[in-house]
Amino acid sequence: MKRTLIVAAVAAAVLAGPATAAYYTPEELAKINLFRQMDLETGALTTQISMVNSSPGGSSGGDIRYIIDGGGSQWQRDWYNQPLTPWNDPKDGPQNDHSVSLLIEMNASKAIGSITQYFDLYNGEVPRLYRILGSNDLEGGWSDLTGWREGNTENAGGRTITTAINGSYQYLQFEYIGIPVHSQNADAGTERDLFYLREIVATPMAGSQIETTSGYTLTPVIYTASLQPGADPLIAAHNGVSGNSSLGWKDPPGNVTNGNPLSFLRPSDHNDGWFVLSLNDLHRLAGFAVGTYNSAWNDILIQYTDEDIFAEDWDDSNWKFAYEQKTALTSTFGMRFFFDEETGESTTIDARYLRISTTKGNGTVCDFELYAVPIPEPMTMSLLALGGLALLRRRK
């Protein structure tokens, strides 16, 4: 069953130009990751990250862009056998006070409700201390949004730290100091500090205006919408999950659509894996990106259809071509659908279902991000226009 459009537009917005409508409720749009936005004209992702300060004597591992790629690949900062220093309470023993600061730059000021940081506790640690700074003018200085906080207290021993922000900022700086005392070896004069950060996610402030035409990835929004009564299941079909790799996937395909950068999807070793993603209503496709978990799939094929109802017995003749890449994917770039590099032109693709497949049984993807714009159907547009004209008549 198709979801009902939530209409909040006036007639002028409907009658002018390619029309869009609000398919999603504020609760569903609240799942958007503000760091994952694509320029719909160029296909470029709009958020940048860099390391701006670090204690000497260490080394970095992994692409720093992994921290905002939507996936679970970690970026790490290592200090090998660096001296430990005393901390506030002598009973805690020596601590590692090495520091690192990261700068995230967005394309505009955004109303941020909260920020969640995902760490890797299998190989590294949460920070002993952290704070988040915000700014809308790098020349004008920074506002301390959190003060210094103890990472091990904030996340209660888990792998994530969620911090309320409730403010509008274009630039964010994350500052980290050391690792908690329980990670230190009391018998050692020096320790190896492993700081592993997998992902940082920013979600909108309550009541903020989120436009579905702004180029944010809609996958977590569509996932949340799919949980509502009457909605299509997000994963309409797939060719099986088996722990012994005898079917298409080793893991449930929904792992790449749930907005969790630490869940993942691996193809089987023997069979081609595919799954069908239901968009529930018609969307105009712009591009996609993947977030990886250390290594990505070695190829991908994306097909689409604008049919109203999906049938599990469809064969290849029911699907149209949208994108194919026969080399290893990277989680640090966005890709445009059906883009001709020679002419610089893209083909318009309107879809209700996507079929995503890979033919080589290795690699791991944590997140499949769809960048698209919901579009109303002709009958809905007519109803919107009539409703808008009625509003105009009432005002006269």
Does residue 378 register a pLDDT over 50?
no
* pLDDT (mean) for 114-141: 85
Band of residue 296 on the pLDDT scale cut at 50, 70, 90? confident
CA gap 272, 383 in Å, rounded: 44
Does residue 112 register a pLDDT over 50?
yes
Has this prediction a pTM greater than 0.85? no
* pLDDT (mean) for 344-371: 86
Outline which parts of the chain fall under CATH 2.60.120.260: 48-204, 217-375
User: Residue 62: how many CB atoms within 10 A of its CB?
Assistant: 16
Domain 48-204 fold: Jelly Rolls (2.60.120)
Does residue 198 register a pLDDT over 60?
yes
- 90, amino acid identity: P
Band of residue 157 on the pLDDT scale cut at 50, 70, 90? low
Residue predicted with more confidence, 85 or 135: 135
How confident is the model at residue 5, as a pLDDT?
38
CA gap 307, 53 in Å, rounded: 52
How confident is the model at residue 180, as a pLDDT?
60
Count CA atoms within 13 Å of residue 295 on its CB side: 8
Between strands 149-150 and 160-177, the pairing is unpaired
How confident is the model at residue 199, as a pLDDT?
92
**Which class does domain 217-375 fall in?**
mainly beta
3-state secondary structure the chain: CCCCCECCCCHHHHHCCCCCCECCCHHHHCCCCCCCEECCCCCCECCEEEEEEECCCEEEECCHHHHHCCCCCCEEEEEEEEECEECCCHHHCEECCCEEEEEEEEEEEEEEEEEEEEECCCCCECCCEEEEEEECCHHHCCEECCCCEEHHHHCCCCCEEEEEEEEEEEEEEEEEECCCHHHCCCCCCEEEEEEEEEEEEEEECCCCCCCCCCCEECHHHHHHHHCCCCCCCCEEEECCECCCCCCCECCCHHHHCCCCCCCCECECCCCCEEEEEEEEEEEEEEEEEEEEECECCCCEEEEEECCCCCCCCCCHHHCEEEEEECCCCCCCCCEECCEECCCCEECCCEEEEEEEEECCCCCCEEEEEEEEEECCCHHHHHHHHHHHHHHHHHHC
- 245, amino acid identity: S
How confident is the model at residue 155, as a pLDDT?
58
Tally the residues of the chain.
Answer: 396
Does residue 159 register a pLDDT over 50?
yes
Q: Residues 211-265: pLDDT tens digits?
A: 888 899 999 899 988 888 878 788 888 888 876 666 788 889 999 988 888 888 9
How confident is the model at residue 168, as a pLDDT?
97
Band of residue 95 on the pLDDT scale cut at 50, 70, 90? low
Cα maximum dimension of the chain: 83
Residue burial 248-259, b: 16+ Cβ < 10 Å; e: rest: bbbbebbbbbbb
Q: What are phi and psi of 206, to 5 degrees?
A: -55, 130
* Residue with the two structure tokens 């809308």: 136
The C-alpha torsion from 42 through 45 and 51 to 52, rounded to 10°, is 60
Best mean pLDDT range from 102-116, 151-165, 187-201, 202-216: 102-116
Does residue 100 register a pLDDT over 70?
yes
